[in-house]
Homo-oligomer: A and B are copies of this chain.
Amino acid sequence: MASLMKSFVDVSPGSQFPIQNLPYGVFRPSAGASPRPGVAIGDSVVDLSVLSEAGLFKGPLLSSSSCFSQTSLNAFMALGRPAWKEARKTLQKLLSDGEPTLRDDHVLRSKAILPMNQVTMVMPAVIGDYTDFFSSKEHAVNCGTIFRGGKEDALPPNWVHVPIGYHGRASSVVISGTDIRRPRGQTSPPPGENAPEFKPSALLDFELEMAAFVGPGNELGKPVSVDEAADHIFGFVIMNDWSARDIQKWEYVPLGPFLGKSFGTTISPWIVTMEALDPFICDAPEQDPPALQYLTEKNRFTYDIPMQVAIRPKGESKASVISNTNFKYLYWTVCQQLAHHTVNGCNLNTGDLLASGTISGPSFGSLGSLLEMSVAGSREVKLEHGGVRRFLKDGDEVVMSAVCEGDGFNVGFGECRGKVIPAFNS
């Protein structure tokens, strides 16, 4: 504790963004300005384009790179782990309390370090493909029971062998704070009818997920082994995979979810790096039956990341927490997901997003969707600050957060938030 690294930038006790975190995002310093990469520290944002132009990245991999002068993080993410480590080392040194370079250069400092509440966060990366996995055993069992009936057969026979995933819609992945329009669509025929209904979704839900950004990709036809997979992961963001359960239920056989998901997917703006998450490594669940060889990790681990979901109804000032869960419950790790994804030769590109699937824990208070909490709408979910929900109402804001508690510091993800607005009226 005595030797805990500190920054000259103000970081309040308990802040999610101490010098031990330094998550990457992309922001506009003012309305007209072009987006540029930054890192969060305390309540401030460090403009990496300014530091780069000032020649402060002096390491061999970054000194002549233009990666921090781009409007997305893709160029930086493509450089790979050695460059990420170099950047982290440089930034931790530049921002540490004993280092005068930036601390005492008041002109540079005022240009490079901006109050977070004065900047606008934008999408951190250009996402090529977005893949959504289905890695929580608890969630898979809960969904199987609800959608296919019968707890005994709830888990499909492939589930314990295959890190099941599907292609999601990349175009509608949006940054935290973007309103989500309630989707319209076809739903099952009402009892006694043959024709489906067409209407705004009546069963709008969230799904709490964690999503990994791919750093260096792989060539088409060249799989990445499970033990090499970690070097392809740049960092994590919180994701809300908004889901319209009634649309999803009617459409998903036989080709999977489509319009029940593609109307919007929200991510938190700050990408927390694997280096920052290192202190929170923990054991991953044991796998029974054992995974096939291509999915067997020499060093199997995951991360202890407590996560939370809250709902703030329209007009309310307080959000009601409805779930406390943890990333560590997931059965399939991100390395297993990535190895599986590429084992057929599929190529990943820098900026691709691999989402975990809904994160549900073993207890009632640790579920990752209203579908599960309300048991498909059959029970009311109580909001601590008043009201009940089975599914989301117009005006509801869903706020997801995740904070790792370290020894004397936190490593947080900030928030992933989005408000439901009424359906399109043609």
Contacts and interface: CB of A to CB of B under 8 A. Distances in A.
A114 B118 CA distance: 55
Interface string A189-211: 00000111010000000000000
B255 A174 contact: no
Interface string A130-173: 00001000000000100110000000101001101111111110
Nearest to A185: B344
B255 A165 contact: yes
Contacts of A220: 171-172, 174, 181, 263-264
A205 to B, nearest CB: 14
Given A171-B348, A262-B346, A198 B293 contact: yes
Contacts of A128: 170-171
A58 B292 CA distance: 62
A225 interface: yes
A247 B289 CA distance: 20
A322 interface: no
Contacts of A184: 223, 343-345
A220 B172 CA distance: 7
B263 A183 contact: no
A327 to B, nearest CB: 21
A178 to B, nearest CB: 8
A390 interface: no
Given A164-B251, A171-B352, A345 B264 contact: yes
Given A134-B255, A343-B184, A344-B262, A168 B167 contact: yes
Given A161-B195, A166-B166, A346 B171 contact: yes
B255 A256 contact: yes
A292 B424 contact: no
A259 B340 contact: yes
A294 B196 CA distance: 12
Contacts of A196: 158, 161-162, 292
B164 A345 contact: no
B289 A158 contact: no
A92 interface: no
A71 interface: no
A424 B183 CA distance: 42
Interface in A276-291: 289
A156 B257 CA distance: 15
Given A171-B346, A347-B172, A250 B195 contact: no
A301 interface: no
A176 interface: no
Contacts of A257: 255-256
A223 B426 contact: yes
A222 interface: yes
B255 A158 contact: no
A254 interface: yes
A166 B164 contact: no
Given A198-B294, A255-B166, A247 B349 contact: no
A92 B181 CA distance: 44
A214 to B, nearest CB: 10
A253 interface: yes
A165 B185 CA distance: 14
A115 interface: no
A43 interface: no
18 contacts: A134-B255, A158-B196, A161-B196, A162-B186, A164-B251, A166-B256, A167-B168, A170-B170, A171-B347, A171-B348, A172-B345, A221-B263, A225-B426, A252-B254, A255-B256, A255-B257, A256-B256, A262-B344
Given A164-B251, A181-B220, A252-B254, 14 more contacts: A128-B171, A158-B196, A161-B196, A162-B196, A164-B254, A166-B166, A167-B167, A167-B169, A167-B258, A181-B221, A195-B292, A220-B263, A244-B344, A259-B343
